Amino acid sequence: MKFKELGISSKTIDALESIGYDEATEVQEKAIPMILQGKEVIVRSKTGSGKTAAFGISLIELILKDRNKQGVIIAPTRELAIQITDELREIGKRHRMKIYAIYGGQSIGRQISLLSKGFNIVVGTPGRMLDHLRRGTMKLDYVNWVVLDEADLMLDMGFEEDINAILREINPQRQMLLFSATIDSRIKSISRRYMHNPEIIEVGSKDVEEITEKTIMIKRQDKIGKLIEILNDNPEKRALIFVSTKRAVEKVCRILNKNDINASFLHGDRTQSQREKTINSFKKRHLNTLVATDVASRGLHIEDVELIINFDPAGSKDVHKHRIGRTGRMGKKGEAITFQDDEPRNEYYNTGRSRRSYGRNKRRMYGDRGRKSGGYRTR
């Protein structure tokens, strides 16, 4: 659809054309008219679908109608804050808008002098914005629009309290827009607390588009051997393996290591610094295989995984979706493999059976061979 049909000013359309935006993307087509009508929206769509311009164009058009009011965009990282600022400046270049990026690592003095001149839109990371609020160098009294971009990522990064503190400084009657790749219970909780009957806009379903899913029916005692086989067949792929309990996570990891697979593990008992170290080496590809529980993986931003293996199937559909959502991002192909045995193994852990039966179950799972010989042989 042409931007003209969305009721956008001709100066903005000129600017959009000059940067090669001829037609609105699907998210833009759906979100912009609603935002311009004053509705609060929660937008979920995959990376690369044009969310920045969806809120950017809307904000600029709304500010044009009332230049006394300001907009604030909260983004998770300085790179993103800079990127958003650049794009909004392009979109708003015919309107003489003051759009500033406020992020950590840059001289605060410089930011203070920018802010003192007044602004139309500030794009900031949570920590640095809060810093300015506490110093009294940024006033949000005239803010009428707030955008949370990549809200799920900000929550993963532990910014919830900072975001709450910022939102408390802004007039509760403002219009709030929330963008996220997933809408989970945390996002819903934020929207319940701060938004007024938001409209939910969901575009595309990445599950179908980019993730190949495969289920392998397999006996429990054969799972570890199969896992090793798959990993050896795909040495270049970053793999995330979900296992249902902490102890089983460690056990699987140990067996992989004994079979010369460089794997590490994550679960709720590891310290924050251990987790960060592990995540970082995974991100940098020093480590290609990660074994984790759901709990450990939830609060962390692990994406761009090429292969998800559900060594133990997820306990629910939502958890399954969340797990496989870590692959197939950025338009890359992802693969998810689920091991399904005919016994519902999760019940062994959840129904309060004795430790003895847990131990028996574990032996069934890995077999005594692995215990005695100290490692499985692949073939």
| Residues at the site binding ligand ADP, with contacts judged by CB under 6 A | 20-21, 23-25, 28, 45, 47-53
Question: Near Mg ion by CB under 5 A, which window of 50-58, 117-125, 274-282, 305-313?
Answer: 50-58
Question: Near Mg ion by CB under 5 A, which window of 22-30, 47-55, 56-64, 169-177?
Answer: 47-55
Binding at 323: pick from ligand ADP, Mg ion, none (beta carbon under 5-8 Å per type): none
Pairs from 314-323 (Cβ < 8 Å, separation ≥ 24): 314/242, 315/244, 315/346, 315/350, 318/184, 319/294, 321/207, 322/182, 322/184, 322/294, 322/298, 323/242, 323/294, 323/297
Query: Which residue number places its CB atom closest to Mg ion?
Result: 51
For the record, the structure tokens of 18 come out as 């000059």
148: nearest Cα among 38, 42, 33, 302: 42
**Neighbouring C-alpha atoms within 13 Å toward the C-beta of 313:** 20
Q: For residues 46 and 345, which CB has a smaller minimum distance to ligand ADP in the complex? A: 46
- Measured from the CB of residue 12, what is the shortest distance to ligand ADP in angstroms? 12
Binding at 35: pick from Mg ion, ligand ADP, none (beta carbon under 5-8 Å per type): none
Question: Near Mg ion by CB under 5 A, which window of 44-52, 67-75, 107-115, 128-136?
Answer: 44-52
How far apart are alpha carbons 72 and 88 in whole angstroms? 12
Q: For residues 80 and 102, which CB has a smaller minimum distance to ligand ADP in the complex? A: 80
276: nearest Cα among 302, 253, 249: 302
Binding at 374: pick from ligand ADP, Mg ion, none (beta carbon under 5-8 Å per type): none
Binding at 25: pick from ligand ADP, Mg ion, none (beta carbon under 5-8 Å per type): ligand ADP
Q: Are 16 and 91 in contact (CB under 8 A)?
A: yes
- Measured from the CB of residue 184, what is the shortest distance to ligand ADP in angstroms? 18
Q: For residues 22 and 236, which CB has a smaller minimum distance to ligand ADP in the complex? A: 22
Q: Are 365 and 249 in contact (CB under 8 A)?
A: no
Q: Are 199 and 39 in contact (CB under 8 A)?
A: yes
- Measured from the CB of residue 83, what is the shortest distance to ligand ADP in angstroms? 7
State which H helix or E strand residue 309 sits in.
strand 307-310
Q: Does 51 bind Mg ion (CB under 5 A)?
A: yes
State which H helix or E strand residue 298 sits in.
helix 294-298
265: nearest Cα among 230, 236, 241, 229: 241
Q: For residues 25 and 264, which CB has a smaller minimum distance to ligand ADP in the complex? A: 25
- Measured from the CB of residue 267, what is the shortest distance to ligand ADP in angstroms? 31
How far apart are alpha carbons 48 and 34 in whole angstroms? 21
Helix (H, G, I), strand (E, B) or coil at 121: strand
- Measured from the CB of residue 349, what is the shortest distance to ligand ADP in angstroms? 38
Phi, psi of 297 (to 5 degrees): -80, -20
Query: 238-297: which residues touch Mg ion (CB under 5 A)?
Result: none
**Could you tell me how many helices (H) and strands (E) the chain has, helices first?**
17, 13
How far apart are alpha carbons 252 and 275 in whole angstroms? 18
Q: For residues 51 and 323, which CB has a smaller minimum distance to Mg ion in the complex? A: 51
Binding at 53: pick from Mg ion, ligand ADP, none (beta carbon under 5-8 Å per type): ligand ADP
Q: For residues 51 and 128, which CB has a smaller minimum distance to Mg ion in the complex? A: 51
Q: For residues 51 and 251, which CB has a smaller minimum distance to ligand ADP in the complex? A: 51
Q: Which residues bind Mg ion (CB under 5 A)?
A: 51
